[in-house]
A and B are shown apart, each in its own frame.
Chain A
Amino acid sequence: MHEHDVVVVGAGGAGMRAAIAANEEGADVALVSKLHPVRSHTGAAEGGINAALRDGDSWEDHAYDTMKGSDYLGDAPAVETLCQDSPKETIQLEHWGMAFSRDDDGRVSQRPFGGLSFPRTTYAGAETGHHLLHTMYEQVVKRGIRVYEEHYVMQLAVTDHEDPEARRCHGVVAYDIKTGRINGFVANDGVVIATGGPGQMYDHTTNAVANTGDGAAMAYRAGVPLQDMEFVQFHPTTLPSTGVLISEGVRGEGGILYNSEGERFMFERGYANNVGELASRDVVARAEQTEANEGRGFENDSVMLDMRHLGEERIIDRLENILHLAEDFEGVNALEEPMPVKPGQHYEMGGIETDENGETCIEGLYAVGECACVSVHGANRLGGNALPELIVFGARAGRHAATRQPETAQIQTGPSAKSEDGHVDTPVTPGEIDAGSEDVVADGGALLDAPAPEVVERTVARENARVEELMERDGVNHAEIRADLQQSMTRNVNVFRNEAGLKQALRDIRAAREGYRDVAVSDPSRTYNTDLLHTIETRNLIDLAEALTLSALAREEFRGAHWREEYQFRDDEQWLKHTQVAWNDGRPDLYYTPVILEGEGGEYEPKERSY
């Protein structure tokens, strides 16, 4: 059993920023991560960090752009916090030595990005995330923060009060991948979940194979609602064969999109008459998909992204990484020919419901980064707003967990914030399947109100039982179940959605859940058992896919990234509210909470989004 003040789960940008902040407050911090920190998916971010750093720009403008981009589903207190803190946090990275691209005067460079009214995206080539991740890890090493790398956190140790808001998180249970040992971690002050996105629920995604939404699924089953899961960002420019991301920086620098008829369709087909390729991501992704669906795509249903006219010098200076990606993963020399691109799953706007301090409705449990939903992205995230989210809310959560300072949050979390119950007709009964030893295989559950070490120990015992059961029995390989799930999500819960497809996805998810009852790990070894790891991950993907699809079926309007065939208008009357799905003993419980549009300088008035 390990004991620390703050335990951070996940060591990407958000997790490391939280750990550093907690460490600065004097806390004894542990970073527990299934990968070595420098392997985290933050490293794959390309574009940049939005921060109002220059004369002529202001955090208010950044906030306005973000609220508009979110299709008015962002919460103003969170959005304003993001925009106010981002300059300070971005400069902090510079002070830590991050290798930002530079202007002639030696200051950090900024460039235009989709949906922004000012070129405020601070960047380091087309590999900003890589530099951010390594800079952050350097600070972790410098401070001697304890890293438990290749430790897979499988369960949270949470007390079992009836009301989720009365529960407390005392720590986590992790599987040491190298030895197979299952260890308890007691967290005296708090647990911060920073496990990233769940992109692996789709089969065409920019996300790493490790992005299986483990933290979000664990928090969900422990009683924290998942918020706004229906809003999934499909990035307009991913390589068709692999899903590898081509940065929005290409369009930011002036790259153009055209269809198989040679039309610059963003303008010529009227998708975004003012800014064309630089419209926000949901708009461009739908435009591309429409072109493909109407037969004006290239093979693989792609369109072409052309940056040749930018000139070799500018490309090498600002987008060099893109040349390598296009060549290695698509066989295209982007200096001489355009690249095929198509929309791919990229980012989950929704996630673990938190307030501006990163805290959830369970005491001592925090979440930050893509796994969380503090509600800065609403229905659609602007490019360049994910990295500031990591550093701003990572720092706040780390500080808050370490100090428990009663900074009052304006965003209320948990069931007591509920404004109304949701209802949705589903073709199957979603949620739990109660049979045989299912509870051991599936879940922690059944914890108790007891001193921290006891809660953690009990959880360790349950996880040991679960793993033994999975390893001993014979059955289905998780990979089959995962592949079916991924295909159904891509087919049915994609850029374009309709009721029949969403219901089909729910049936497929139910089938995955049933199939999972028979899942078994066939590798009998405790040493580095990735079969076991992937089997547990697959369960997490099923739970998250279900919450996502239910939320999407319930939201009968078209907002941001959530397009519905049957409902072609944004319906502010009915739907200016956050979707919440709570676990409720295995039966997903759907309800809504109000959106907060009231900011420091007044209310953000929902307007039609045009670009």
Chain B
Amino acid sequence: MSTQLPESETETETESDEQAPSAPVQQQRRMERKRARAEEEEREAVEEETELDGETYTLKVFRYDPEVEGKKRPRFDEFVVPYHKGMTVLDALMYARDHYDSSLTFRHSCRQAICGSDAMFVNGRQRLCCKTQLSDLTDPVRVEPLPHQEVVKDLVVDMQHFYDQMDAVEPFFQTNDLPSGLEEQHQTRENREKVKMSTRCIWCGACMSSCNIAAGDNEYLGPAAINKAYRFAMDEREGEELKQHRLEILEQEHGVWRCQTQFSCTEVCPKDIPLTEHIQELKREAVKNNLKFW
């Protein structure tokens, strides 16, 4: 069982609260019956499909829903999906959802590794489901939500903390020195090359989820946010003055010095961003800059 099971089944807003004024008892009963049926059908469907011909993969998928009786206690469901060449973990999840259990919930959109919404914990490692081939994994394939984040439902985690950390580094371009009108700022090819990898981040959250330090220190900015800061600190168009300002943000107590160079973020990054190196480089810049070790 994964480590990120919710600590307690706290009362979230249930649908009966929301509909209280207008929801007659009759409707609640119908909904209860429907829920009971839904659970039953779901089990049947999963069992039925184990009789498939041809090559299959078995998914063991983490399930949790604060509102549904049978899913309040987290569990794993098994789905057996027919395999075809080139099939990804996301394809398999979609197959399971569309054919067996329409309540199976996960984020996904572009299915080409650019929207960043389907990072999950697959066979014990943070991966983007859309670019992970089933054939690269051992069967059965265990799919869980990203560790160290609160689970909203099934494979969906709450990303708010990740976004908050991003916001903390002033994640936008700043300069006091813009050319006027139609004139562009110049940037050398070398400088663009230097920041290139850092600009590839798709905010999937895999790095943050893999980071032991972030897991233990909720205030640590974390690899994604530091990388975002790197992207601007190293961009020559912002100028020296702003670079100082950025370094001040980064060398705060829960900034770059928290990193213990375990490289887990770099290892899991689906866009191959050298996150750990970026963090180290910012540490060096901070030292050059004089500053404090926490």
Interface residues, chain A, with chain B CB atoms under 8 Å away:
35-36, 38-41, 43-44, 53, 87-88, 91, 94-97, 99-108, 125, 127, 130-131, 134-135, 138-139, 141-142, 178-181, 208-210, 241-242, 244-245, 324-325, 328-331, 464, 468, 471-472, 474, 477, 479, 483, 521-531
Contact = CB atoms under 8 A, between A and B. Distances in A.
Contact of B65 (A38, A53, A241, A525): A525
A49 to B, nearest CB: 13
A179 B13 contact: yes
Contacts of B98: 477, 479, 483
A178 B152 contact: yes
A41 B110 contact: yes
Interface in B67-124: 67-68, 86, 97-99, 102-103, 105-117
A241 B186 CA distance: 41
26 contacts: A35-B117, A36-B203, A38-B115, A39-B110, A41-B115, A94-B184, A97-B237, A99-B192, A99-B196, A104-B189, A106-B187, A130-B114, A131-B199, A135-B173, A141-B171, A241-B86, A464-B22, A472-B27, A479-B97, A483-B98, A523-B105, A526-B67, A527-B65, A527-B153, A528-B156, A531-B102
The 9 closest A-B pairs by CB, nearest first: A97-B173, A106-B186, A523-B103, A138-B172, A526-B15, A142-B172, A479-B98, A524-B35, A39-B115
A105 B186 contact: yes
Nearest to A525: B67
Q: Kindly name the residue among B111, B116, B172, B188 whose own CB sees the greatest number of chain A CB atoms within 10 A.
A: B172
B200 to A, nearest CB: 7
Contacts of B19: 464, 468
A159 B92 CA distance: 44
Contacts of A208: 109-111, 115
A325 B34 contact: no
Nearest to B108: A209
B178 interface: yes
Contacts of B188: 102, 106
Contacts of B97: 479
B182 A44 contact: no
A96 B175 CA distance: 9
Contacts of B147: none
Nearest to B28: A472
Q: Which bracket fits the contact residues of B?
A: 35 or more
A127 B200 contact: yes
A108 B199 contact: no
B65 A479 contact: no
A128 B86 CA distance: 27
B152 A39 contact: no
A244 B167 CA distance: 31
Contacts of B108: 209
Contact of A97 (B86, B114, B232): B232
Nearest to A40: B115
Contacts of A38: 115-116, 202-203
A44 B184 contact: no
Nearest to A531: B102
Given A43-B110, A97-B172, A97-B175, 16 more contacts: A38-B115, A44-B115, A102-B187, A127-B114, A179-B12, A179-B18, A208-B115, A209-B108, A330-B86, A472-B30, A483-B98, A523-B103, A524-B68, A525-B68, A528-B152, A528-B153
A244 B112 CA distance: 6
A210 B116 CA distance: 13
A43 B115 contact: yes
B251 interface: no
B102 A523 contact: yes
B183 interface: yes
A19 B237 CA distance: 25
Nearest to B196: A99
B164 to A, nearest CB: 11
Contact of A39 (B34, B112, B117, B184): B117
Contact of B171 (A95, A104, A138, A525): A138
Contacts of B175: 97
B185 interface: yes
A43 B238 CA distance: 24
A522 B18 contact: no
Contacts of A242: 86, 111-112
Nearest to A143: B172
A241 B202 CA distance: 24
Given A99-B192, A106-B186, A524-B35, A35 B173 contact: no
B255 interface: no
Interface of B: 12-15, 18-19, 22, 27, 30-31, 34-35, 37-38, 41, 65-68, 86, 97-99, 102-103, 105-117, 131, 152-154, 156, 159, 163, 167, 171-173, 175, 178-179, 181-189, 192, 195-196, 199-200, 202-203, 232, 235, 237-238
Nearest to B16: A526
Contacts of A99: 192, 195-196, 199, 235
Contact of A471 (B31, B116, B117, B156): B31
Contacts of A468: 19, 27
A521 B27 CA distance: 15
Given A99-B196, A524-B34, A107 B186 contact: yes
A511 B68 CA distance: 33
B233 to A, nearest CB: 12
B237 A527 contact: no
Contacts of B163: 36
Contact of B113 (A209, A328, A472): A328
A329 B172 contact: no
B31 to A, nearest CB: 6
Contacts of B110: 39, 41, 43-44, 208-209
Nearest to B87: A241
A524 B31 contact: yes
A526 B172 contact: no
Q: Kindly name the residue among B99, B102, B186, B237 whose own CB sees the greatest number of chain A CB atoms within 10 A.
A: B102
Nearest to A327: B131
Nearest to B156: A528
A468 B28 CA distance: 11
B173 A472 contact: no
Contact of B66 (A44, A130, A527): A527
Given A106-B186, A527-B12, A324 B192 contact: no
Nearest to A105: B186
Contacts of B173: 96-97, 135, 138
A139 B112 contact: no
Contacts of A108: 184
B285 to A, nearest CB: 19
A472 B115 contact: no
B157 to A, nearest CB: 11
A208 B112 CA distance: 8
A525 B203 contact: no
Contacts of B183: 91
B92 to A, nearest CB: 14
A541 to B, nearest CB: 15
A108 B183 CA distance: 11
Contacts of A125: 196
A367 B107 CA distance: 26
A331 to B, nearest CB: 7
Nearest to A320: B196
B112 A325 contact: yes
A87 B185 contact: no
B231 to A, nearest CB: 8
